[in-house]
Amino acid sequence: MNKFINCSTIIIFFLLTSFISRAQWQEQASGLTTSLNSASGVTDNIAWVCGNAGRVLRTNNGGVNWINATGTGIPPSLDLYNIFAIDSTTALVTGSSTTSFVFRSTNGGLTWVQVFSQTGGFINAIWMTSPVTGLMYGDPVGARWSLWRTTNGGVNWDSTGMFLAQAGGEAGWNNSLFVTGTNVWFGTNNSRVYYSPLGGITGTWQVQSTTQTNSYALWFNTSTSGMLGGAQLMATNNSGLNWSAVTSPGTGNFTGITGSTVNWWVTRQANTIYRTTDNGVTFTTDYTAPAGSFTHIQKAASGSRMWAVRNNGGIASSLSTVGILPISSEIPGYYSLSQNYPNPFNPATNFTFSLPKSASVTIKIFDVVGREVDVIANNEFKNAGVYIVNYSADRLSSGVYFYRITANDFAETRKMVLTK
C-alpha cells in the first residue's frame, strides 16, 4: 500500500509540475469586442464584468464559460462603468449618460431592476460591505459629492448624513473606491483622495493630498497599506495620511490596482499586467495580453483568482499556482501535515496532508516575519483522505517561508526554504 501511494505521489507531482510551468494568466472567451470597464470577483469561481452598450457577463466556473447576463431592463445604449457582485445571482451595476443609473439583478442577470437614478453627475463605483449594506460614490451634483448608502442590498439608496462639499470643479473616476470595515477612500481629479474612518458620515471626511492630479485606481491590502495610480504610482503605509511615489512600470495612465499582503498587480492603458512582491520596490511583467488595453483589474473578494478586463472585450484570469489532489481514499486515523519535498526548492515543491474527517481547509504561506504572502486554499471543503499539494513559488524571492494548515480544530505550521 505504501509503495502504491509513493508511486502515485511521484506521478501526480510531475503532472502538477508540468501544469504549473505554463503561464499563470489565461485568456478567456467573452464573445465581445466592445469595451469592458469593470470586473467584480466573488470567489475563485464566481465573477461578473460589465461594459459598453449595456453588456454584463458572469461566470460560475472560474471563467471557463462566460454567460450573457445582460438580460432585460438595462437600455442597450447605456454604457456601464462599474459592477459589484454579491454572489452568483445578485449584482449591482452603474451606468451613466446625461442621467446616472443603478440596476440590480437577483436572478443571475436575467432581469435588471432600476433602483437609482440621478440627473447629471456620474456614478463611479459601488462597494457592498455585506449582502445588505453598502456605499456608492459619484461625481458632485449641486456642489456636493454624490454619496449614498444602502441597508437593504441596494434596493434603496439614501444620502442622509453623507454630505461632502465639492472643491472647485473636482470629479471622480469609475472604480476608484475602496472600502474595508468602516474605512472609505475614493479618488478624484483634484490631487487628492477623500478618506473617512467612519463610513462616510458627514464631518468625518479627510483630505489626503497626493502629487498625482488624478487617482484613477485605488486599492488597499490592509487598512494601512494602499496604492493609488494616476500617471504614476503612489503608496501609503499609514492609511493615506502620507502618499509617496513608488516604482512605476510601463507607460500610460494606471487603470487598475489589486493585491494581497505585500503583493500588488497593476494595469496601465496598455496590454500588460505588472506585479510587485515587495510593496512596489520592484516590478516584473506578469502577463502581456494579445491585444487591447486593460481598463480594470480586481482580485476575488474570497480567494486568490484575479480578473482583468480590456477595451476590446478581452478578459484575462490568473490561473492557480497550486494543485491539490487526493492520493488515497483510505481514511487516515489522525490529522497530519508532512514536510515539503524537495526542501530547499526552486521554485516548485510538494507536501501532503491527512484528514480523518471532512473539513474546510485553509493553507497559507507566510514570510519569516509572519506576513501572509500567498493563499493555497481558503476554507476549501475536502473529504476525509490524504492529499498532495504542489506549490509553485516562482513569484516569491529566495528566503525562509512557513506553510500553515488549519482544518476543523487542527492547525500545524512547517518551515520551507526557497533558493533561487
CB 268, CB 251: distance < 8 Å: yes
Residue count of the chain, please give it: 420
Alpha-carbon distance of 376 to 36, in angstroms, equals: 29
For the segment 137-150, what is each residue's pLDDT rounded down to a tens digit? 999 999 999 999 99
CA atoms within 13 A on the CB side of 253: 13
The pLDDT of residue 64: 86
The pLDDT of residue 20: 34
Residue position matching grid coordinates 516569491: 396
Percent of the chain with pLDDT over 90: 76
CA atoms within 13 A on the CB side of 171: 11
Percent of the chain with pLDDT over 70: 92
The pLDDT of residue 321: 54
CB 100, CB 138: distance < 8 Å: yes
Q: What is the mean pLDDT of the chain?
A: 90
**Structural domain 24-318, CATH architecture:** 7 Propeller (2.130)
**Residue scoring higher pLDDT (378 or 5):** 378
Question: CATH assignment of 2-19+321-418?
Answer: 2.60.40.1930
Q: If pLDDT is split at 50, 70 and 90, which confidence band does 320 have?
A: low
Fold equal for 2-19+321-418 and 24-318: no
- Position 94 pLDDT exceeds 70: yes
Q: If pLDDT is split at 50, 70 and 90, which confidence band does 18 have?
A: very low
Rounded to an integer, the average pLDDT of 364-376 is 88
CA 158 to chain centre: 27
Q: How far is CA 355 from CA 328, 329, 336, 359, 408, in A?
A: 11, 10, 7, 7, 10
Q: If pLDDT is split at 50, 70 and 90, which confidence band does 260 have?
A: confident
For the segment 321-340, what is each residue's pLDDT rounded down to a tens digit? 556 778 876 899 999 999 99
Q: What region does 132 belong to: left with phi over 0, alpha with psi -120 to 50, or beta?
A: alpha
For the segment 31-69, what is each residue's pLDDT rounded down to a tens digit? 999 999 999 999 888 999 999 999 999 999 889 899 999
What's the pTM? 0.76
Residue 148's closest CA among 138, 139, 159, 140?
Answer: 159
Q: Which three cell numbers stand for residue 55?
A: 453588456
Domain boundaries, the chain: 2-19+321-418, 24-318
- Position 125 pLDDT exceeds 50: yes
Q: Which helix (H) or strand (E) holds 316?
A: strand 315-318
Give pairs for 126-129: CB < 8 Å, separation 24+. Answer: 126/82, 126/83, 126/84, 126/92, 126/94, 126/102, 126/154, 126/177, 127/84, 127/177, 127/178, 127/179, 128/84, 128/86, 128/92, 128/153, 128/154, 129/179, 129/181
